[in-house]
Structure 1
Amino acid sequence: MSRDRAVRVDAPTERNNPRTRDIDLLPTLDILHVLNSEDRTVPVAVGRVLPELAQAVDMAVASLRAGGRVHYVGAGTSGRLAVLDAAELIPTFNVPPDWIIAHQAGGTDAFQHAVENAEDDVESGAATIRAAATGLDFVLGLAASGRTPYVLAALDAARQLGASTGLVTSNPDVVDTPADVVIAVDTGPEPISGSTRMKAGTAQKLVLTSFSTAVMIRMGRTYSNLMVSMLATNAKLRGRTIGILQEATSAPADTCAAALTAADGDLKTALVHLLTGVDVEQAAAALAVSDGHVRDALHTLAKR
């Protein structure tokens, strides 16, 4: 993540870390011990902002249920992490590709290479959201400093559209942001001063993974802790679908395979069919009424 030109030298991520001041004098193993010790502080810091993260999840779920979408906006490392998280949701939870969309300063070229001045491009940040978002959407900005111009301009444009907004940052001192909820993970000074690809980046990865997973759970893309919505796009995943059905129903593998075939490969339909004994047509109908929530479909069928 390139350094935000607007950030003050006293931003937490820019300060000098006294615990790593002589890291260049250490042997390799000791360097790694020091870095690992710094990394271990990140999950604790994330844990302190779970109430704010829960607010963001609830906003995103409300947007999706209303027919809106979720947008990630970031620059540098933040943008790359956002693209990664959004891409992984499609095979894991079989979500429509426009449910969660990642926007990176500098566009697709910035995923592999630094794009000069992209994070300072206010006009691009605003234009990106004006072209892609609506008032039904939730826009989540990611900026370690909390001041990246591209991200803040995108959030401001989103707010003008009437969208709900959130900001993930590692600067607990950030104020006056165009975000309805600020998720400020206090990761402190980096092991290498200003290198926010380190602890701040790790915090963003943890926040994004928890955020999107919680959203998927709330949207009924899981049953218990099982990936019942995933796309079986290769032999490993096709085998996993059988394993998921066995785990959820305790039925033999051949019974699960037959149910999956009868359901035209739809894991949720096969699951409801096996758990209730109704035919696959009734199982599919119950899932349609429940917007794909397996537990709601089971509840509906149990009342008949």
Structure 2
Amino acid sequence: MDSEHTKHGQRADAGAERHGGEADRATEAFVAHRNLLFTVAYEMLGSAADAEDVLQETWLRWSGVDLAGVRDRRAYLVRITTRQALSRLRTLGRRKESYVGPWLPEPLLTAPDVADDVELADSVSMAMLLVMETLTPTERAVFVLREVFGLGYDEIAEAVDKSPAAVRQVAHRARAHVAARRPRGAVSPAETRDALAAFRRATETGDLQGLLDVLAPDVVLLGDGGGIRQAVTRPVVGADKVARLLLGGFGRYRGSLSLRPAQVNAYPALLFRLDGVLDTVLAVRVDDGLITGLYAVRNPEKLVRMGRETTLCR
């Protein structure tokens, strides 16, 4: 009897050891690819808070997977993340319908090395994330996985539950859609930085003509207050309207408002602080040396991550 108990105990210990070892390997794989998975989820959702929720759901499903049957852990994790993000994206769509005013992506303070990866930087820019908002959830998933992360059609097909042939068609449609709406030419961070420096000088000095000189005639200003902070509730179009609105607003708080440059979503941006507290993140889109888009995020719920850098990678 004692011998049987001993054998049973040894088998139980061995099983626990295997289970513990597999759990360790699952954790190691998840941690190793976490930044990649966050980037996939963020590009699909435009929301860091929702991307973090997707990662939690991904971990719960991944921790229950038998690793012995997983050939490529990275691909498997990306597949889980994509499916969870797709589900969340459809929920977000319904939530955005009742959002007060324009909805803008959640800005992220990014490290300088993100800008060195031109394709990644372009894909996480505020301008590109807004372009991707015009895609259907499946088109967005396929576009992100194919154009940004270079996954094969077979891998993407498993992630979005479609045939490889169908995925090719979706990819072609999404590429054409994005190409028609993306910035007109490749814009370097230096070009954006120069435009922002001129914008900042004109705004701080109240130089209307200087501001008009850096704004494109058809510039569009979007503001996101989320119904919590005051912001424009519809797009403001035209250099004169935008310039006068900005100078009027800045003039009211000239003594207590400061502008500081920062790297946001891989591109130069401005942080507006009111009495030292972050009030607005202003990202821009630049075409041919002129600012064509201004994106002012004021919703405090979207500014919570701006105190620390977020690591994005491919």
The TM-score with structure 1 as length reference comes to 0.26
Question: Structure 1 or 2: larger helix share?
Answer: 2
* Higher share of residues assigned strand: 2
